[in-house]
Structure 1
Amino acid sequence: MSRNILLGVCGGIAAYKSAELVRALQKQGMEVRVVMTKAAEEFVRPLTFASLTSHKVFTDLWDSKVEAEKAGFSIEHITQAQWADLLLIAPATANTMAKFAQGLADDFLSATYLATTAPVVFAPAMNVNMWNHPATQANLLALQQRGHRIVEPESGYLACGMTGSGRFPEIETIVESVLGQLQVQRNLAAETVLITAGGTREPIDPVRFLGNRSSGKMGYALAAAAQRRGARVILVTAPTALATPEGCEVVRVTTAAEMQAAVLAHLPEATAVIKAAAVADFRMKQAAATKLERKGSLTLELEPTDDIVRSVVEARRPGTLVIAFAAEMGRNLERAREKLLRKGADAIVVNDVAVEGLGFDSDRNAATLLTRVQSIDLPESSKRELAERILDEMLRLRALVPRTKAREALSV
């Protein structure tokens, strides 16, 4: 069945590649129409896309409005917003993404964006410093939390002469993301996914605590991705500096004990549990009632915290999936598999936190997902993309463990 793709082309040197993208989408049996910003017209003429699509190219909000009113039809940007099965912005510039993130609507493309309820995919292309700027990254996060898909730009030599992230993604990568977004829409609609995120804090005294470097970004990316796919998401989060993912039910905790209690309280509602939080392995045997004075050396008496994953496995209903996380120093898969078997989870995501630029505090990560019989490499990517891959693997596990059957089916 043909799917309707509305392609928004923004003003960047990569705009010429959008012509090739049109052809690639058409080869997949898709009907393509094009909207161009004024800046995009400086790089490619509308006639190019009109010739490729056999459709009018939309460039001006006001002309389209006048023509539509004269013809007695509805306003054109509303018509196109309703026509589209998916809105694809490629190339997506920093300016356009900033407008979308803020809800501005001063041209045909931005007005159409606000008017559509279709899924939205962005393929950014820009200078490396523009891509890495905190404002751009904040806008990307806002769009992703809104349920949109970001196709990460490639890294390499850029048109400006600099080297780094910002190259227009490969055409095949964009097409795969479009196909995937059309196919995965609401493929978790039958799931209630309980996700933990952030790093727990164990009090030493009223002002100090034992903690870790977890930013919570991986757990929050998983929550946003699962919600986008239609799942009911319960996010149990330790303290983070992150904005709450839209549409998720959030339970805030601080300590490992509080997290365990919250997880077990909501476990009867869950069909899948993803334990992405960095839970403290130890806590004070007895926290001080008042602030400790700095007088010489100090010895802390610690005791282990409870294994939350193990308690979830023991208390879960038949058919509830459990995916654990393991932060390792080095790629020690044997140690991770031993953890998987000891905890009784269905899968464990292993990431090497010793690799510079990945894992803690970073927006990027790489991992290996282990099941009892498989080892699946998850190459370096943004945590947004990695979250999608993990959910894809969760769906494969779901095929082995139906919600209505006992978990023993996994070993068959």
Structure 2
Amino acid sequence: MSVLNGKKILLGISGGIAAYKTASLVRLFIKAGAHVQVIMTPASKDFITPLTLSTLSKNPVHSSFFNEDDVNQKWNNHVELALWADLMVIAPATANTMSKMVNGNCDNLLIAAYLSAKCPVYFAPAMDLDMYQHHSTVASFKALHHFGNSIIPAENGELASGLSGEGRMAEPENIVAFLEADLESKLPLKGKKILITAGPTYESIDPVRFIGNHSSGKMGFDIAKCAANLGATVILISGPTNFSIENNLVKLIRVISAQEMYDACHHYFDNVDVAIAAAAVADYKPTNIAVQKIKKTATNFVIELEKTKDILASLGEIKKNQFLIGFALETENEIENAKLKIQKKNLDLIVLNSLQDEGAGFGKPTNKVTFIDKNFKVEPMELKSKEAVADDILNKIVAHYA
């Protein structure tokens, strides 16, 4: 999966012949899973039509501060566009546009959005050889770099003037590759390995029945997605769930029982930097599993149970430098019980859930957690989506390695 997947890209197109390549660039962004909005300078519409780019991006194309054919004359909010974006790409970036970017000459919507952008900005120069090498252009490159913008280097090749040399806008495939490589290099958890458990475990009674719980696995899968988006290599060990995940940084291992999850965790634990035990593992399992389906005969039926192995405690016993995070689902004396679990299981951080909190618990899209670290610092959080809680958990990990 591309690091651009899910990213919101604001593409600015200025008036150069290379603008015709932006149709392919938008298509590649969409193929990578990005969301794209396009701003065109008025001059760029001489080289490619807004209709083409609107069709490919699946969004209206903006080129002026308001639409003259709109009877209500609703204005295009440049600030809103800029703040929407996760990154801004200006391609082609002509000498004229770069000069305006340097000097703040805000006479079109593209420059207004650029000056309002708080996200990373990339620009792909495109112009003839002599223009590319001119002192003023070189000065623009240096100034834009000083401002924190990233240049996507021009390529050598045939130019519109008939000359051949440097100044040709990077090909769309190379622009995408540049963005992916640059974004990946800046991911805060790149190079880290994270083990995550998710979902319930099922403990067989007979070939038909089992002991389980209501965990959906969503929290663990959301944590895995978030970790991969931050560059981590993830081993996701999941009990039975309906969720799946498609990311080449995530290795999904499906298990059924607590013993299978125990074995998988111990197989990988030595080689990870972080372990997050988000699974709702059964505390007990039947002592004897019937080979055949148990018939409904007696009025009362007793199942003898025995404890399962405590996965989190066993990892705490053998951990070296791993950052170990556990979950606690409590119904009473929540803080005290969570602190005891930190001590007993040698945890660095615990994520406390309380079934007393509305909107928290199994099978819900939201969660309300309290973070407690090994020094017993208590940090209650508001009710949030499980995706947002996953972000909060990963921020704790990023801060740990900062």
Q: TM-score, normalised by structure 1?
A: 0.58
Question: 1:13-412 counterparts in 2 under 5 A?
Answer: 18-22=77-81, 49-50=109-110, 52-53=112-113, 78=172, 82=175, 118=179, 185-247=186-248, 248-295=250-297, 296-316=299-319, 318-329=320-331, 332-373=334-375, 374-398=377-401
Pair 279,31 (structure 1): closer, same or farther in 2 beyond 3 Å: closer
State the SS of the aligned residue for 1:368: strand
Q: Deviations over 1:102-131 (max 9, x none)?
A: xxxxxxxxxxxxx57747xxxxxxxxxxxx
Q: Distance in 2 between matches of 1:200 and 1:297?
A: 26
Q: Deviations over 1:336-390 (max 9, x none)?
A: 1111111111111111234444331122212111112212233222222211210
Please tell me whether Structure 1 or Structure 2 has the larger radius of gyration of its CA atoms. Answer: 2
1:62 alignment partner in structure 2:
none
* Candidates 6, 16, 37, aligned match of 2:10: 6
Q: Shift of the alpha carbon at 1:266? A: 1.1
State the SS of the aligned residue for 1:194: strand
Pair 77,303 (structure 1): closer, same or farther in 2 beyond 3 Å: same
Pair 292,271 (structure 1): closer, same or farther in 2 beyond 3 Å: same
Q: Shift of the alpha carbon at 1:21? A: 2.9
What code does the residue aligned with 2:304 have? E
On the 8 A contact 2:79/2:113 being kept in 1, the answer is no
Q: Distance in 1 between matches of 2:302 and 2:76?
A: 63
State the SS of the aligned residue for 2:281: coil
On the 8 A contact 2:78/2:113 being kept in 1, the answer is no
Q: Deviations over 1:110-156 (max 9, x none)?
A: xxxxx57747xxxxxxxxxxxxxxxxxxxxxxxxxxxxxxxxxxxxx
Q: Shift of the alpha carbon at 1:330? A: 5.5
Pair 302,116 (structure 1): closer, same or farther in 2 beyond 3 Å: same
% identical aligned pairs:
31
What code does the residue aligned with 2:387 have? R
What code does the residue aligned with 1:251 have? I
What code does the residue aligned with 1:391 have? L
On the 8 A contact 1:224/1:245 being kept in 2, the answer is no
On the 8 A contact 1:220/1:245 being kept in 2, the answer is no
1:94 alignment partner in structure 2:
none
Q: Distance in 2 between matches of 1:184 and 1:77?
A: 21
Q: Distance in 2 between matches of 1:334 and 1:24?
A: 43
Q: Shift of the alpha carbon at 1:75? A: 8.6
Pair 185,240 (structure 1): closer, same or farther in 2 beyond 3 Å: farther
C-alpha RMSD over aligned residues = 3.7
Pair 364,70 (structure 1): closer, same or farther in 2 beyond 3 Å: farther
Q: Distance in 2 between matches of 1:365 and 1:17?
A: 37
Pair 245,224 (structure 1): closer, same or farther in 2 beyond 3 Å: farther
Pair 31,265 (structure 1): closer, same or farther in 2 beyond 3 Å: closer
State the SS of the aligned residue for 1:283: strand
1:126 alignment partner in structure 2:
none
Q: Deviations over 1:245-276 (max 9, x none)?
A: 41211222111111111101111111111101
On the 8 A contact 2:184/2:190 being kept in 1, the answer is no
Q: TM-score, normalised by structure 2?
A: 0.59
Q: Distance in 1 between matches of 2:238 and 2:272?
A: 16
Q: Distance in 2 between matches of 1:375 and 1:18?
A: 42
Aligned residues: 274
Q: Distance in 1 between matches of 2:270 and 2:204?
A: 29
Give ranges in structure 1 of 5+ residues lacking alignment.
Answer: 35-46, 56-68, 83-114, 120-180, 400-412
State the SS of the aligned residue for 1:379: coil
